A and B are shown apart, each in its own frame.
Chain A
Amino acid sequence: MAGDDVTALAFEHVSHAFGRQLVVDDFGLSIGAGEIVCLVGPSGCGKTTVLRIAAGLEPLQSGRVSIGERVVADANRHIDVPPDARGLGLVFQDYALFPHLSVAGNVGFGLKGLGGQEKRTRVTALLEQLDLGRYADVYPHTLSGGQQQRVALARALAPGPGIVLLDEPFSGLDTALRGQIRDQTLHLLKSREAATLLVTHDPEEAMALGDRIALMREGRLIQTGTPGDLYLHPVNAFAAGFFGEVNRISGTVRGGAVATPFGEIAATRLSNGSAVDVLIRPEALQVKAMGAGTRPSHPAIVVAARLLGEVSMVHLQVESGDWPIRHFHSRMTGSFLPLENSVVEVALDPSRTFVFPAADIK
């Protein structure tokens, strides 16, 4: 993370409605210079609207947006700098390459006030950096999806913007290509030290790219923090569930703790008798094979076990006790494949188990 103390882009109390429907609700976020922030959330949560407001493509209805020290939009003071005067780089989901211009023409489109020679040099250098040098004179429709994506990125970066906005930039690519293009994009953005706001619906993508992640839902900002913060310290059940699989089990707080089939979990901040949801990440359930003749303290029966590559998924069934659900998933590192129908011992890691009031569930 570079230069957190200098703010490059800031939203304060931004709200936006389409007709009567509030799509962004009191949104606040600031992005430091050189920082990559991923704005993530389910589709329709208002994240793309936030990006369009930042770019000036959507007129601001309430709140304030500033770029560096400069206020570019303030609903109270009726300031709304048009998009062409904001100096932002923008990459669209469908790339929006100009079909009537060559690749070089597209990349050089935003370079104004430069001599022909200097312009060419800059365009060529950028294309070389993205392995597109050969395609300078080709028209966009002849390129593959991945190449088009890189041209769109080069076009946005060519004028040297301090801020880059990307709207679902990888969603049009097939899975095999996506990881590679994503890496390349990350390295390029880092080398340019531009502040970046990247909108995505894919939590994995957000964690792979973001210095920080901002999680949105139904127009509201739910949580902001490093990928680790969101994964390890989610503020509610939605955040916990969004960034990874969870085993969900409802329960009641008794004596500052909640009972689970695998032992008690502390819930000191919740009052006695309140209904709660316990969210257990699969990797919090550590499975051990039983030695012969030993009696397990938290037993479960293996329903199925599958190797998924770097991890193994073990499906467990809890036989004894009165639990609302009996089926659990455990994720073990490496190849760990106990026999089906064998009885195993399960240990619970409380650092990857979260307790939230039951009302929060959705």
Chain B
Amino acid sequence: MWTPLAFIAAALISLPVLVVTANLFTPASAIWQHLAATVLSSYIANSIWIMIGVGVGVLLIGVSTAWLVAMCEFPGRRIFEWALLLPFAVPAYVVAYTYTGLLDVSGPVQQWLREGLGMANVASWFPDIRSLVGAIVLMALVLYPYVYMLARTAFHEQSFAAIEVSRTLGCGPWRSFGTVSLPLARPAIAGGLALALMEALNDFGTVQFFGVDTFTTGIYRTWLGLGERPAAAQLAALLMLFIFALILLERWSRGARRYQQAGTRYQVLPRYRLRAGKGVVACAVCAAPVMLGFLVPVLALTVWTIDTAAETIDKRFFTMAANSFLVAAITAVLAVALAATLAYGLRIRRTAAMTVATRVAALGYAIPGSVIAVGVLIPFAFIDNAVDGWFRAHFGVSTGLVLSGTLVALVFAYLVRFLAISFNTVEAGFGRITPRMDDAARSLGMSRGGVLGRVLAPLMRGSLLAAGLLVFVDVMKELPATLLVRPFNFDTLATHTYEYASDEQLVEASPAALAIVVVGVVPVILLSRAIARARAGQDGGG
């Protein structure tokens, strides 16, 4: 019973991905010709620039901070170890709105330069944050933790012997970094890079606000503005090609990592002690991204929230917060239940078909929210039309829209996008429980469902909770899919932030943005606790 159930769930979740991919092979429409002739080249160019720029940025910040924290000892290292993860909590669009508020003509920085220092024509030379370069810098500031996290672990786990050998062969710290550490950590770094770039391509709020045309803004405008759904679907399909390349990169890095870890025993590396000047430099290198990617925006949002609390924190604000919590909670519960079903189906019988189905179902996380929105809306509209037509023909009544434009569609879109997170967490939880447990319970008269409910679920309560929490937070932050799929007049904290920002009411947007960041800090705390636990184990309790 479990295997078909899991299979159906996997098929359902993979539907949007398949729908969009199918659009790669449909003939081009007239509007497509038009798009191709006018804006497509700028979409492609901007997307490539963003990938290059963000890629370089996250590598510089992520690798340098990871190496310092993993291999050196300097003041504040233990704090930076987890603090460097904090920018994870801030969605790119929130940073974009905040920095625009700080740095544009009427913002406090330029105001201070003008009035405080008496510089008359500040606006003429001050760099415009609302540009391609601005988008790249801000995205790199919040996406580098992907690289940092994976690279830090890789540096940490590197074989002591390999580095010792390179040192005894006469390599200084810099050369042994270049010739041993970096090549050994390369797969992990590539994996982090792939994840960061997937997020960069997924971004909608930043590029939309900065007026940088990319695929995501193109899809949004073609779908909602022009009402050209097939063309939007084809844009989505084209974006998928970029994503597939990144998925291949990520898969490759995982395979290489597994190979690298085969049969080595790890020993904690003695860290390079950085004193005086070098220590200060290391401290500054680590402090900068935490300041710019987390502290400055959070501080600004807090000040603005306090300033405007009287007008902005009203009944509407709480309704939106409740909406956000509601959809996030529903999605989290469903995502965990679905992930448990899939992972348990896979545990019972790991057939090739099952494996492929779960892989495709877990693909959603790589795929931009706007693409998923398109992939959800097309089949749902088809079903709605079919149902409506059938009822008209047989009963003479119109059912209208049954699925599209309802919470069902929205939650489904979230599930498609975030199932992978809960699935990976739940599957890792299953992996830690020996299959003998299942066998023992079965031989004592438990049904399959009973095994899941009475033995496995209690044993992996932590994993299930973590999975739910991660999905919850990601749903709270999600913007493009929410904008496209949400029911009419249904506002969440994310859409509210977006709408206020679009109206240039950046200060008024801050309470909702701050709420998103506060919720987003929770999984970062979880992550840092997991890191602390791992460290306690490595140091032998010391």
A159 touches B445 (CB 8 A): yes
Is A110's CB within 8 Å of the partner chain B?
yes
The answer for the CA separation of A135 and B3 in the assembled complex, in Å, is 39
Is B19's CB within 8 Å of the partner chain A?
no
Q: Specify which of B437, B443, B446, B447 is in contact with A55 (CB 8 Å cutoff).
A: B443
B439 touches A55 (CB 8 A): yes
The answer for the CA separation of A165 and B447 in the assembled complex, in Å, is 19
Given contact pairs A57-B442, A90-B444, A97-B440, a sample of 7 additional A-B residue pairs in the complex whose CB atoms are under 8 Å apart: A82-B447, A84-B442, A84-B450, A86-B443, A98-B455, A112-B445, A159-B445
15 A-B residue pairings within 8 Å (CB atoms)? A57-B443, A82-B447, A88-B443, A90-B444, A92-B439, A96-B436, A96-B440, A98-B437, A98-B440, A98-B455, A99-B459, A155-B444, A156-B444, A159-B444, A159-B445
Closest chain A residue to B442, Cβ basis: A83
The answer for the CA separation of A189 and B459 in the assembled complex, in Å, is 31
Is B26's CB within 8 Å of the partner chain A?
no
Is B458's CB within 8 Å of the partner chain A?
yes
The answer for the CA separation of A87 and B436 in the assembled complex, in Å, is 17
The answer for the CA separation of A94 and B440 in the assembled complex, in Å, is 11
Query: Min CB distance, B349 to chain A, in Å?
Result: 10
From B434, B445, B459, name the one whose CB has the most chain A CB atoms within 10 angstroms: B445
Closest chain B residue to A89, Cβ basis: B443
Residue interface bits B1-21, CB-to-A below 8 A is 1, else 0: 000000000000000000000
List residues 446-482 of chain B with CB under 8 A from any CB of chain A. 446-447, 450, 455, 458-459
Query: Min CB distance, B223 to chain A, in Å?
Result: 49
B445 touches A110 (CB 8 A): yes
Looking at chain A's contact residues, the main secondary structure is: loop
Q: Specify which of A56, A82, A99, A109 is in contact with B441 (CB 8 Å cutoff).
A: A109
Residue interface bits A57-101, CB-to-B below 8 A is 1, else 0: 100000000000000000000000011111111101010111110
List residues 53-105 of chain B with CB under 8 A from any CB of chain A. none
Which 8 A-B pairs have CB atoms at the shortest separation, nearest pair first? A110-B444, A96-B436, A90-B443, A83-B442, A96-B440, A100-B458, A84-B445, A92-B436
Closest chain B residue to A109, Cβ basis: B444
The answer for the CA separation of A110 and B454 in the assembled complex, in Å, is 12
B443 touches A83 (CB 8 A): yes
List residues 95-147 of chain A with CB under 8 A from any CB of chain B. 96-100, 109-110, 112
Query: Min CB distance, B460 to chain A, in Å?
Result: 10
Query: Min CB distance, B193 to chain A, in Å?
Result: 38
Query: Min CB distance, B230 to chain A, in Å?
Result: 47
Determine the chain B residues whose CB is within 8 A of the CB of A112 once the complex forms.
Answer: 445
B434 touches A94 (CB 8 A): yes
A96 touches B434 (CB 8 A): yes
Query: Min CB distance, B13 to chain A, in Å?
Result: 28
Interface size of B by CB at 8 A reads 16
A98-B455, A100-B458 as given contacts; A57 in contact with B445, CB under 8 Å: no
A92 touches B440 (CB 8 A): yes
Closest chain B residue to A100, Cβ basis: B458
The answer for the CA separation of A85 and B437 in the assembled complex, in Å, is 17
Determine the chain A residues whose CB is within 8 A of the CB of B444 once the complex forms.
Answer: 84, 90, 109-110, 155-156, 159
B459 touches A100 (CB 8 A): yes
Closest chain A residue to B444, Cβ basis: A110
From A85, A96, A110, A155, name the one whose CB has the most chain B CB atoms within 10 angstroms: A96
Residue interface bits A169-180, CB-to-B below 8 A is 1, else 0: 000000000000
Q: Specify which of A84, A98, A110, A159 is in contact with B447 (CB 8 Å cutoff).
A: A84
Q: Specify which of B436, B443, B455, B459 is in contact with A84 (CB 8 Å cutoff).
A: B443
Query: Min CB distance, A16 to chain B, in Å?
Result: 16
Determine the chain B residues whose CB is within 8 A of the CB of A56 once the complex forms.
Answer: 442
Closest chain A residue to B349, Cβ basis: A59
Closest chain B residue to A92, Cβ basis: B436
Determine the chain A residues whose CB is within 8 A of the CB of B459 once the complex forms.
Answer: 98-100
Closest chain A residue to B450, Cβ basis: A84
The answer for the CA separation of A85 and B434 in the assembled complex, in Å, is 22
Determine the chain A residues whose CB is within 8 A of the CB of B442 once the complex forms.
Answer: 55-57, 82-84
The answer for the CA separation of A11 and B424 in the assembled complex, in Å, is 41
Determine the chain A residues whose CB is within 8 A of the CB of B447 once the complex forms.
Answer: 82, 84
Closest chain B residue to A88, Cβ basis: B443
Query: Min CB distance, A159 to chain B, in Å?
Result: 7
Determine the chain B residues whose CB is within 8 A of the CB of A92 once the complex forms.
Answer: 436, 439-440
List residues 173-230 of chain A with CB under 8 A from any CB of chain B. none
Closest chain B residue to A59, Cβ basis: B349
The answer for the CA separation of A87 and B445 in the assembled complex, in Å, is 7
A156 touches B434 (CB 8 A): no
A84 touches B446 (CB 8 A): yes
The answer for the CA separation of A112 and B441 in the assembled complex, in Å, is 12
Determine the chain B residues whose CB is within 8 A of the CB of A155 once the complex forms.
Answer: 440, 444
Q: Specify which of B439, B446, B458 is in contact with A96 (CB 8 Å cutoff).
A: B439
Determine the chain B residues whose CB is within 8 A of the CB of A52 once the complex forms.
Answer: 439
From B436, B446, B455, B459, name the one whose CB has the most chain A CB atoms within 10 angstroms: B436
